[in-house]
């Protein structure tokens, strides 16, 4: 039996990805456990793709990834940007 869900791996152990800033074109690093990041060149907010994850539906998500990350991710999902 696994002690952690393999679907939450990129949230428990985040990995970076690069997104282009929609304002200036600068590459912005966003981690897999973040919903958004600020561009260091122009200050614009850059959003990660809204990819559904197990955090949204799994009854064990808070236990699996930790309460702080769970609350941060779910708060971001609840607010329209």
Domain boundaries, the chain: 8-78
Q: Where are the alpha helices (DSSP H) in the chain?
A: 9-12, 61-65, 67-78
User: What's the pLDDT score for residue 79?
Assistant: 52
User: What's the pLDDT score for residue 75?
Assistant: 80
Beta strands in 1-81 (DSSP E): 16-20, 27-31, 36-38, 45-47
pTM higher than the cut 0.85: no
CB 10 within 8 A of CB 41: no
User: What's the pLDDT score for residue 1?
Assistant: 39
Per-residue pLDDT tens digits for 7-65: 777 777 888 999 999 999 999 999 988 888 999 999 999 988 776 777 888 888 888 88
């Amino acid at each position: 039996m696994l002690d952690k869900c393999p679907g939450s791996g990129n949230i428990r152990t985040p990995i970076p990805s690069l997104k282009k800033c929609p304002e200036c074109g600068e590459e912005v690093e966003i981690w897999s456990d973040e919903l958004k990041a600020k561009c260091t060149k122009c200050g614009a907010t850059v959003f990660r793709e809204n990819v559904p994850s197990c955090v949204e539906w799994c009854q064990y998500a808070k236990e699996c990834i930790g309460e702080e990350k769970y609350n941060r991710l779910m708060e971001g999902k609840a607010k329209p940007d």
